[in-house]
Amino acid sequence: MDGHDPDDFDFETRAIRAGIERSDQGEHSEAIYATSSFVFASAAEAAARFSGEQSGNIYSRFTNPTVRMFERRLAALEGGEACVATSSGMSAVLSVCMALLRQGDHVVAARGLFGTTTSLLTQYLTRFGIAVSFVSTTDYAAWAAAIEPGRTRLLIIETPTNPLGEVADIRQLATLAHDVGARLVVDNCFCTPALQRPLALGADLVIHSATKYLDGQGRCMGGAVVGDAETVGKEVLGFLRTAGPSLSPFNAWIFLKGLETLALRMRAHSEQALELARWLQTQPGVARVYYPGLPDHPQHALAAAQQSAFGGIVSFEVAGGRAAAWRLIDATRLISITANLGDTKTTITHPATTTHGRLPAEEREKAGIGEGLLRLSVGLESLTDLKRDLARGLA
Ligand SMILES: *Cc1c(COP(=O)(O)O)cnc(C)c1O
């Protein structure tokens, strides 16, 4: 960062200034390098770049300066040695699995994972001789029992979980993984490094859907993997540059701008969500509110120790099942009816018939996702307006 060590600066400063590579034009804002390939001064230089003798850009499927600025900035925020950016959050998950797993390996994953991550593991990885076990996010005895020493390579979690906000003890799961030479992978989508830094708690790899809070304004798709230089900078990058789910420089630029306001936004999302969760608890027709920031949340103390705030996702159960839940959604005029999250715009979704609709009803109930459950991604609009919009459907 302009000759300074990014580690010397606080988080807010790194979010704005880490990773900048200024060109000889002296631009202040990061440049968008919209180029698929890079030219060489001579045939000998081309040969040296391709052989790896000389470092430098070759082709944007491998490296691109705008993408690299985003990677370096996110690495500085998560406290990782290396970061590789991907075309979506799912391609980040895929890249980790393809880079680090082989036939005969075993993965233990939390039952509450993002639905598409679960599908990727069960429908695709299992085709290639990789076994997957699912356990409850917070049942550590079940994690210990599911791990097969010598065969289990990855433990995969999200914390807090979607949509019920269950919080996993990252330190404890990292110890379980390391005891058998496995790695702990944390999808840090809900907290972002502004609220939680899994690597400092012992996790080996962090995965992001940059589509969510890193962008923060619902504009484009992207993802990232952060970790040590060998695993991420060599193994994950090796898969990415071969298979091709690379991040577009345009999207990298948008994420760079998103990161500049990340700390501010996550603080504001968290404050708004906490107040809305408290307000929902007082509303007639609301049977239960799920938010790790509420003192009656089962992992409130752990969340308070592990995170610097509680994030922007609030779920709540309305009395009256699906009919009441859908009525509330349809009564909103301001809040967007969409399954996306991590936007300045507040969004509402009915998990049982959307994000978790593919689960058999029995499994869904077992996971605590009832017909009356609604999930809010609390945005940055006026809280007065948000309460008014929800009160209409609660009345
Ligand atoms: C959205 C999401 C993903 C997938 O990211 P995409 O960018 O949509 O591919 C993975 N994990 C979590 C927790 C998510 O919310």
pLDDT of residue 342: 97
Whether residue 39 has pLDDT greater than 50 = yes
Residue bearing the CA closest to ligand 1, atom 1: 209
Please tell me the distance between residue 55's alpha carbon and the centre of ligand 1 in angstroms.
Answer: 32
The response to whether residue 173 sits with its C-beta less than 6 Å from ligand 1 reads no
Average pLDDT over residues 45-53: 95
What's the chain's average pLDDT?
96
pLDDT of residue 140: 97
What class is the 263-394 domain? alpha beta
Average pLDDT over residues 215-219: 97
Residue bearing the CA closest to ligand 1, atom 2: 209
Residue bearing the CA closest to ligand 1, atom 11: 114
The response to whether residue 110 sits with its C-beta less than 6 Å from ligand 1 reads no
| pTM for the predicted model, two decimal places | 0.96
Whether residue 145 has pLDDT greater than 90 = yes
Please tell me the distance between residue 117's alpha carbon and the centre of ligand 1 in angstroms.
Answer: 8
Please tell me the distance between residue 53's alpha carbon and the centre of ligand 1 in angstroms.
Answer: 37
Considering the domain 7-260, what is its CATH architecture?
3-Layer(aba) Sandwich (3.40)
Please tell me the distance between residue 2's alpha carbon and the centre of ligand 1 in angstroms.
Answer: 33
The answer to whether the beta carbons of residues 376 and 343 sit under 8 Å apart is no
Whether residue 290 has pLDDT greater than 80 = yes
Q: How many percent of the chain have pLDDT more than 90? A: 92
The distance of Cα 45 from the centroid of its chain, to the nearest Å, equals 39
Atom in ligand 1 nearest the alpha carbon of residue 190: 13
Q: What is the pLDDT of residues 302-333, one digit of tens each?
A: 999 999 999 999 999 999 999 999 999 999 99
The response to whether residue 114 sits with its C-beta less than 6 Å from ligand 1 reads yes
Please tell me the distance between residue 304's alpha carbon and the centre of ligand 1 in angstroms.
Answer: 24
Q: Where are the domains of the chain?
A: 7-260, 263-394
Please tell me the distance between residue 213's alpha carbon and the centre of ligand 1 in angstroms.
Answer: 11
Name the residue of 96, 118, 188, 189 whose CB sits within 8 Å of the most ligand 1 atoms, as the mutation to test its pocket. Answer: 189
Edge-first strand order for the sheet with 286-290 is 286-290, 313-318, 373-377, 347-349, 336-337
Q: What is the pLDDT of residues 163-185, one digit of tens each?
A: 999 999 999 999 999 999 999 99
Grade residue 1 by pLDDT with cuts at 50, 70 and 90. very low
pLDDT of residue 339: 87
pLDDT of residue 3: 46
Helices (H), the chain: 11-17, 43-51, 65-78, 89-100, 115-119, 140-146, 170-179, 192-195, 237-243, 249-260, 262-281, 300-306, 321-331, 361-366, 383-394
Please tell me the distance between residue 209's alpha carbon and the centre of ligand 1 in angstroms.
Answer: 5
CB-based contacts of 389, cutoff 8 Å, min separation 6: 332, 333, 334, 335
Q: What is the pLDDT of residues 340-388, one digit of tens each?
A: 999 999 999 999 999 888 878 887 887 889 999 999 999 999 999 999 9
pLDDT of residue 306: 98
Atom in ligand 1 nearest the alpha carbon of residue 113: 13
The response to whether residue 85 sits with its C-beta less than 6 Å from ligand 1 reads no
Please state whether 311 falls in left (phi above 0), alpha (psi between -120 and 50) or beta. left
Which residue, among 314, 68, 338, 59, has the nearest Cα to 190 in the 3D structure? Answer: 314
Residue bearing the CA closest to ligand 1, atom 7: 89
Please tell me the distance between residue 22's alpha carbon and the centre of ligand 1 in angstroms.
Answer: 31
Fold agreement between 7-260 and 263-394:
no
Residue bearing the CA closest to ligand 1, atom 8: 89
Whether residue 4 has pLDDT greater than 80 = no
The response to whether residue 166 sits with its C-beta less than 6 Å from ligand 1 reads no
Whether residue 46 has pLDDT greater than 90 = yes
Average pLDDT over residues 274-283: 98
